[in-house]
Amino acid sequence: MKSPTLRLGSLPPIRVSPGTLVTVLVLALILYPSFSGPGDVLSVPAALLALGIALFMIVSVLVHEGAHALSARAFGATVDHIALTLWGGHTQYRGKEMSARASVAISLAGPVSNLALALVALGAESVSGPGTAAAVFWSFCARLNIALAVFNLLPGLPMDGGRAVEALLGGVLRNPLLGTRVTAWTGRALALAVVAIPLWWIVRAEGAGMFLLLTLVWAMLIAGMLWQGASSALHAATLQRRVDTLDALDLVRPLRLVTPQQTLSSLGSEAELTNVLVLEQRAIRPGVVGRAYRILPEAVAAVPSAHRERTPASAVAGPVGEVGLLDASLRGSELVSAMLALPVPVYLAMGEPGQIRGIILSDDVNDLLRGR
């Protein structure tokens, strides 16, 4: 199901997942016992109060993500959208490599906005009549925003605090991968703690009522999100390390390029045919200069020796795919970006001035990125 998109002023598009409704209902169910009297089957005022606080929490999440979005824009990033989801929300933005200071500021903007909301709620509580529904509403909203800020400030990925610590460690140690590993494993430890705490409450209470059971289920879902987020961060960091080691010149294969019309006898011995690539040059689209074919040993073996002088290379070759041009001086992320912009199986690595240094196979790059 496609998520509906909202527009609020200068904020980026806000995608509201159906899971947001589940979040509201679960939070309302968890809060309801705090407002209903003993033995009440259904208290409408208590239900409305719990639902109102749950809805305010979604507004708090939106303010949190809006703060991330506005701060990211302030540092020159392009914000694609804000998403409200089952797990709360996230802000999708992209930009050039951020400094540690910018990353920390963007990460902390969300929790700071929740602390500001908590202060507003405490102010509203102070002017509400003591013991009134309004005072209870603002009191819970303040406490939940403080809890939201503190939870997001935990120093493990994928939490905001973890991202801030990751940026600081990477900058201080000059080793971004180490910073990511430390904060990702901290995030995994936090995931275990999120489940352990309600379990300890249940053991201490010598049983689980509806409130504790709902809390445990919700904690398990949050723990799963934390574990997955931390694992994704570890995977992304490992992948980035492999990307950083890429060098076009190291990937070059010194294959011999021949035309489709060259005869089989001119290609050398059968052992030498493994280093031959047949290039059919013709303009296909921008950046693509032709198609490549590889010599098939079984096809070569089927050609009698007497016929090899008049058998063209194209007759014993199978298709590899389109051939693109690639600057042989590219490295790391620039190399990957260039390949993603022109995805073909084979590239001619071009040196200066217009010299072909060899070929680069997409499969070779993919194998390196997968750690093979």
Using CA of residue 31, residue 37, residue 41, residue 44, what is the dihedral sign?
Answer: negative
Cβ neighbours around 372 below 10 Å, total: 8
Enter the pTM of the model.
Answer: 0.76
Q: What is the torsion angle, in degrees rounded to the nearest 10, for the CA atoms of residue 315, residue 317, residue 322 and residue 325?
A: -100
What is the C-alpha to C-alpha distance for residues 199 and 203, in angstroms, rounded to an integer? Answer: 6
Instruction: Report the pLDDT value the prediction gives residue 249, as an integer from 0 to 100.
Output: 93
Question: Nearest-CA neighbor of 359 among 281, 301, 299, 275?
Answer: 275
Which residues are identified as catalytic?
A: 65
Going residue by residue through the chain (372 aa), what tens digit of pLDDT does each one get? 577 899 998 899 999 999 999 999 989 988 898 888 776 667 899 999 999 999 999 999 999 999 999 999 999 999 999 999 987 899 999 877 788 999 999 999 999 999 999 999 999 999 998 889 999 999 999 999 999 999 999 999 999 999 999 999 988 888 888 899 999 999 999 999 999 998 998 888 877 677 778 778 878 988 998 999 999 999 998 998 899 999 999 999 988 889 999 999 888 887 788 889 999 998 888 889 999 999 998 999 899 988 999 999 999 999 999 999 999 999 999 999 999 999 999 999 999 877 888 899 999 999 999 987
Q: Across the chain, where does the E strand assignment appear?
A: 5-6, 14-16, 78-85, 88-94, 256-258, 276-285, 288-295, 317-327, 346-350, 356-361
Instruction: Report the pLDDT value the prediction gives residue 94, as an integer from 0 to 100.
Output: 86
Instruction: Report the pLDDT value the prediction gives residue 150, as an integer from 0 to 100.
Output: 94
Kindly list the domain boundaries of the chain, sorted by start residue: 5-244, 248-369
Cβ neighbours around 99 below 10 Å, total: 11
Fold category of 248-369 in CATH: CBS-domain (3.10.580)
Sequence-distant (6+) residues with CB within 8 A of 79 are 12, 69, 72, 73, 91, 92, 93
Instruction: Report the pLDDT value the prediction gives residue 113, as an integer from 0 to 100.
Output: 98
The rounded Cα 140 to chain-centroid distance in angstroms is 33
